[in-house]
Amino acid sequence: MTGNGILVVASGGLGDAVMLAHVFPRLASLAKPGERVTLVLRRDARKMAFLFAGHANVEYVDYDKYAHSFWQRRAVHKHLGTQPWRLIINTDFLRHPRRDERLIKALPADEKVAMRPRAWAKYDRELKRNEAIYARLFDSGPVLLDKIVRWHRFADWLTGSPQAPTPVRFPPERLPEPAQTDKPLALLIPFSAVREKQASPELFAAIAKHLPADFDIVIPGAPDDLQCNPDYAALLNLPRVRFAVCDFEALARLMRAAKIVVSVDTAAMHLAVTMNAPTLCLASAAYVGEIVPYAAEISPPNARFVYTSMPCQGCLGACILPTEDDRFPCVARLSRNDVLKEIDRLLPEKIVGT
């Protein structure tokens, strides 16, 4: 078999796509002159395809349909496997033997490579069996390791050229033009796909009141965010606060113009840091050690994090404690004073609003 081109499979969500974008140029550098690079994202993560412009052609797979429909699998395999690939790279540490690995197994390639997968009791036997899919496997380190650092280690191994990880913000040539604004702009992002990770409306109200009096304050979101989270609608009654529906590409341009972004731990927070916006993350403790705060070697000066330290932190979302006010305890206990102090550090010349 003599294949051509590189296929990179990344089956994480929106936030994973943003974080992968920082390392992706190193994976794309494995292409030979004139060779195509294709990135396969999960269906919802395709909204971040613009971050890979100039580095890859982006395809996507609806894994729910793929897992349950023979005809869907057949169509995907036909589309992505019309000719053999020279190299297929599975970027996922946490992966599913019946989804992304099933796809990779079905596609022809000269070589397939991956990291050794994170343990998953339900599928460990299948994951072990599927190691035979790959010509080479990389031991990327412990379960609790910064995700971007893990990908850098993987890229070191693949390229044979170790590089020190760099801060997670795009260089100027990869940044979009900032949106045009009449006044200084602040973005507040309270919504998450995991409702228990959302900081309270009362905390966001305190933030809005604390921001400089001349700021416009925008809450960006999807069309149904306020319908799904009606308790946040009262924020729109505050002076200067408005809701704006925008996709992630438009949001990136707003972030380029923003004086500050305050966000829960979600894909939009990672995008704000990537866009070099002064960003404060109101985080849960669930992903301490893997995602937030960023590891010291990749943490840029425009990113700050507030979270409540817990004995059980690093649970990776498998919270063992009862919720408090319908939130993870580590989120419900976020300190208002700590949050406002971090805002002051990001905006050292600010004049507090009334």
Rounded mean pLDDT for each run of 10 residues along the chain, 354 residues in total? 93 97 97 96 97 96 96 97 96 95 97 96 95 97 95 98 94 96 96 92 97 96 93 95 96 98 96 97 90 94 94 86 91 95 84 40
Chain centre distance of CA 302? 17
> Up-side HSE of residue 327: CA atoms within 13 Å toward CB?
21
Q: What is the pTM of this model?
A: 0.94
Quick count: other Cβ atoms within 10 Å of Cβ 68? 10
Does residue 322 share a domain with residue 221?
yes
- The single-letter DSSP state of residue 53 is T
Closest to 90 measured CA to CA, from 106, 74, 78, 70: 106
Q: Which residues contact 218 (CB under 8 A, 6 or more apart)?
A: 185, 186, 187, 188, 241, 242, 243, 244, 254
Query: Domain containing 185: what range?
Result: 175-346
**Is 168 among the domain residues?**
no
- Show the CA angle centred on residue 142, arms to residues 141 and 143, nearest 5°: 125
CB contact at 8 A, 23 and 56? no
**Is 27 among the domain residues?**
yes
Does residue 214 share a domain with residue 91?
no
Measured distance CA(270)–CA(199) in Å, rounded: 17
The structure tokens listed for 276 are 């070099």
CB contact at 8 A, 39 and 28? no
State residue 97 phi and psi, 5-degree precision: -65, -20
Does residue 309 share a domain with residue 187?
yes
**Is 165 among the domain residues?**
no
User: Looking at residue 354, what is its pLDDT?
Assistant: 34
Does residue 266 share a domain with residue 127?
no
**CATH number of the domain within which 124 lies:** 3.40.50.2000
Give 266: exposed, middle or buried? Use CB within 10 Å, 0-12, 13-18, 19+: buried
Measured distance CA(74)–CA(166) in Å, rounded: 40
Does residue 187 share a domain with residue 153?
no
Does residue 104 share a domain with residue 204?
no
Does residue 317 share a domain with residue 198?
yes
Does residue 185 share a domain with residue 152?
no
- Of 105, 134, 159, the residue at which a domain comes to its end is 159
Measured distance CA(20)–CA(52) in Å, rounded: 9
Quick count: other Cβ atoms within 10 Å of Cβ 136? 10
**Is 351 among the domain residues?**
no
Does residue 211 share a domain with residue 114?
no
Does residue 193 share a domain with residue 109?
no
Measured distance CA(54)–CA(62) in Å, rounded: 24
Quick count: other Cβ atoms within 10 Å of Cβ 308? 17
Q: Which residues contact 237 (CB under 8 A, 6 or more apart)?
A: none
**Is 1 among the domain residues?**
no
The structure tokens listed for 137 are 């496997």
Measured distance CA(292)–CA(285) in Å, rounded: 8
| Residues forming beta bridges with residue 244, ordered by sequence position | 220
Does residue 184 share a domain with residue 302?
yes
**Is 314 among the domain residues?**
yes
**Is 352 among the domain residues?**
no
- Of 159, 187, 213, the residue at which a domain comes to its end is 159
User: Looking at residue 120, what is its pLDDT?
Assistant: 93
Does residue 37 share a domain with residue 125?
yes
The domain tally of the chain equals 2
**Is 51 among the domain residues?**
yes
| Residues forming beta bridges with residue 264, ordered by sequence position | 282
Residue 61 Cα distances to 15, 44, 173, 247, 268, angstroms: 17, 9, 29, 20, 22
- The single-letter DSSP state of residue 327 is B
The structure tokens listed for 326 are 């319908």
